[in-house]
Chain A
């Protein structure tokens, strides 16, 4: 049987806070005009961890990061990093663009509690860890609960 090109996909997936920061630095270097994205899901939790100097890995790895953006440049970067892309071959995880409507699943007032950081031209907005956990806790699947427990344990959510 011919070996799949995916045999070389790193198995590390998305698990450490530094992976998210490195990805955003790369994209910040890549965009040529002011852009923004909102980061939700476990990648958002990892972002909060990195900003606090925490290096603890996520207990249940994630396969993807879920950004939301209205910007063409960000959308194109994300299309180049979808499942099966060279980005995934290199990183071991991929980008899963989410529609802006999913922000409705966050608690009211989340923008006022969100944090933001600029990576050159790229402005990244991340809802608070508590707000990111709200949809996870509603779903209540084992992986979601493990991410919540991790967030409380490392102190990014109370």
Chain B
């Protein structure tokens, strides 16, 4: 269990996030939670790299930035986005969603060999 404010709580009051969709905040908050678990992290990477995933190409293109957003201290999120020429809003929206109909497959992929 993490302690302290989540990313969404820290960003919620900033004007540029006033109309930011909760689903986008959720991908950041829960992506950061799962990134702390090696198996869950591997599953996310396997899922987002899956040829069936519609954002696979974007994930591969933005993978360094996405991994940094999910693993860095909250204080660094703006700098990470800026380093990749993005606003933080745009950067967060590059975190891919998870699709339930083949998310379960990422478990066997992760256990039995990477994609």
Measured CB to CB, the residues of A under 8 A from B are 5, 35-36, 70-72, 75-76, 78-88, 94, 96-102, 104
Contact = CB atoms under 8 A, between A and B. Distances in A.
A71 B30 contact: no
A89 B86 CA distance: 38
B12 A101 contact: yes
Q: Which of A72, A81, A84 has the most chain B CB atoms inside 10 A of its CB? A: A72
Contacts of B98: 79, 82
Interface string B18-52: 00001101101110011011001000000000000
29 contacts: A35-B1, A70-B33, A71-B33, A72-B34, A72-B37, A72-B40, A75-B33, A76-B34, A76-B40, A79-B30, A79-B98, A79-B103, A80-B104, A82-B99, A83-B100, A84-B99, A84-B100, A84-B101, A85-B100, A85-B104, A87-B100, A88-B100, A96-B23, A99-B6, A99-B8, A99-B26, A99-B28, A100-B6, A100-B9
B9 A101 contact: yes
Given A70-B2, A97-B26, A101-B8, A75 B34 contact: yes
A9 to B, nearest CB: 11
A79 B33 CA distance: 12
Contacts of A102: 8, 22, 25
Contacts of A101: 6, 8-9, 11-12, 22, 25
Contact of B30 (A81, A84, A88, A97): A97
A131 B98 CA distance: 30
A82 B34 CA distance: 15
